Amino acid sequence: MIPLYITGLGNISPQKTWDNNHFLDEVAGVETNYLRCLDPNYKEYVAGEMVRRMSRIIKMGVAAGKICLADAECTMPDAIITGTGLGCIEDTEKFLTNMIRNNEEFLTPTSFIQSTHNTVSAQIALLLKCHNYNFTYVHRGFSFESALLDSFIRINSGESGTILLGGLDELTPNTFTILQRLGHYKMKPVNNLDMLNDHTRGAIAGEGAAFFLLSANPGEKNYAKIEALDTFYKPISDSIPAYITEFLERSGKRLDEIDLVLMGISGDPANDKVYGDVRNHLFREKPQAWFKHLCGEYQTASSFGLWLAAMILKTGQVPDTTRLEGAKPGMPGNILIYNHYRNLDHSLILVSSV
C-alpha cells in the first residue's frame, strides 16, 4: 500500500491544539468528568453571520477543516471524507425537543436541515465550492477509521491525490447525562491527568474535531505518513496480542521496530482491562503513551490520537503529559496507535516519520 502523507493538520479539542506552532505546551490538569473543546475565535475562520447559525460541531468541524487546508496550502482537495459517531447531535436534540414540546406543531426547519450526519463535510464542500468525492461514515468507534480506510483506497487506486480527512463529535449536556446514566461516563469529577488512579466506573467524556490533509506524495511540509490501518469487531480479549502481531507482519514491520505504542486508555476500568495484555506483555519493554486524558472518550477520539502521533513524529518530542510508565522514548520513527471504543470497535493505525 502507498502510505498517506500528512501534509496539514487542524485540530480543535479540549486542549489548545488549533495552533500548529504549539504542541501541548499548556496542558493543565482539571477536575472534571466532561472535557469540552476550547474554542478558538471562530470568526477568524467563518464569516460572522454564518457562525451564528452554526451549531458547535459545525463550527468546530469547519474551522478545523479550514485550519488544516491552510496549513497544507491546499485550496481544493480531491475528496472530503469525515467520520462522526453521533453527528450533529445538538441540532438533532433541538428539533426533537421542539417537536415533543410543541406536539409536532410550530416547527422551523433550520435544526432539522443541520441535523443530518453529513452536514460538516457538506458545509466544507459548500465553502470551497468543492464538487469532488464527499463521504461521511457514522459507525461508532469505526467512524474515523472507515474514513481513513476510504482515503487509503482512493489514494492507492489513484482516484484522489489529496484528501481532507476529518474525525469529529460534539457532546451536549443531554447526551452526557444519558451516556452517564448508561455507565459510559464517570459520575463524579476526577483529575484528568491522574484518572488512572481513579477506579470508578466510566470514562471522562470528551469531544473534538481533528482534520488531516492526506497526500499521495510528500509535500513541502510533512508531519508523518500513515502506513497501515485495520479494524476488528468484538474480539476475544486473548486474541488481541496475536491480532496486533499479525497486523504488523502484514504491514511489513517487526514488533521491535515500533518505538512507541499510543493507546486509547479511557479511564473506564472495565474497558481499559483490554489494554492490560498489550501493555504488560506484548509491549512491556516499549515506551507507552496515551491520549484520552487530554481529549476525553468519544467515538472518533482516535482522530485525536492520530493528531498526537503526527505531532510527535514531526517534533521528535513525546510530551511528558502523554507518557505512561515504560522506557523513556527517544526520537520515535514508528508509532502504533491501538484504540477501541467500549471494547466493541477496535482499531490499529501505524504511523511513521517522513
Partner 1 sequence: MPQRVYITGIGIISSIGNNAGSAFTSLVEEKSGIAGITLLDTSLKGKFPLAEVKMATAELLEAVGCSGKKNLTRTALLGMIAAREAIESAGIDDINEFRTGLISATTVGGMDRSENFYKEFLADQKKGHLIDIVNHDCGDSTERIADFLGITGFMTTISTACSSSANSIMFGAQLIKAGFIDRVVAGGTDSVTKFTLNGFNTLMILDKNDCRPFDENRAGLTLGEGAAYVVLESEEVVKSRNKNVLAELTGYGNANDAYHQTASSPEGTGAFLAMQKALHLSGLMPDDIDYINVHGTGTQNNDLSEGIATQNIFGEKMPPFSSTKSYTGHTLGAAGAVEAVIAVISINHGIIFPNLRFETPMKELSITPFTKVMKGVDVRNILSNSFGFGGNNSTLIISKTN
Binding site for partner 1 (CB under 8 A): 80, 85-87, 93, 95-97, 99-101, 103-105, 107-109, 112-119, 121-123, 125-126, 128-140, 142-143, 146, 149-150, 153-154, 156-157, 174, 177-178, 181-182, 231, 233-234, 299, 344-345
**Nearest-approach distance from CB 234 to partner 1, in angstroms:** 7
**Nearest-approach distance from CB 46 to partner 1, in angstroms:** 14
**Nearest-approach distance from CB 306 to partner 1, in angstroms:** 17
Nearer to partner 1, 215 or 299 (CB): 299
All three cell numbers of 63: 474551522
Nearer to partner 1, 181 or 188 (CB): 181
Q: Do 213 and 74 meet the contact criterion of CB atoms below 8 Å apart?
A: yes
Nearer to partner 1, 24 or 128 (CB): 128
**Nearest-approach distance from CB 47 to partner 1, in angstroms:** 15
Nearer to partner 1, 189 or 330 (CB): 189
**Nearest-approach distance from CB 91 to partner 1, in angstroms:** 11
**Nearest-approach distance from CB 138 to partner 1, in angstroms:** 4
Q: Do 208 and 61 meet the contact criterion of CB atoms below 8 Å apart?
A: no
Nearer to partner 1, 23 or 135 (CB): 135
Nearer to partner 1, 142 or 291 (CB): 142
Q: Cβ–Cβ contacts within 10 Å for residue 1, how many?
A: 14
Nearer to partner 1, 131 or 328 (CB): 131
Q: Cβ–Cβ contacts within 10 Å for residue 214, how many?
A: 28
DSSP class of residue 165 equals: E
Return the bridge partners of 147, or none. Answer: none
**Nearest-approach distance from CB 340 to partner 1, in angstroms:** 14
The vertex-234 CA angle with 201 and 90, nearest 5°, equals 60
Picking from 265, 275, 195, the residue whose alpha carbon sits closest to that of residue 33 is 195
Residue for cell digits 476526577? Answer: 190
Pairing status of strand 224-233 against strand 345-352: antiparallel
CB crowding 168-204: b at 16 or more within 10 Å, else e = bbbbbeebbeebbeeebbbeeebebeebeebeeebbb
Longest dimension (CA), the chain: 63
DSSP class of residue 328 equals: P
* H helix or E strand, kind and range, residue 12: strand 4-12
DSSP class of residue 300 equals: T
Q: Do 332 and 313 meet the contact criterion of CB atoms below 8 Å apart?
A: yes
Nearer to partner 1, 138 or 295 (CB): 138
**Nearest-approach distance from CB 90 to partner 1, in angstroms:** 14
Residue for cell digits 488512579? Answer: 197
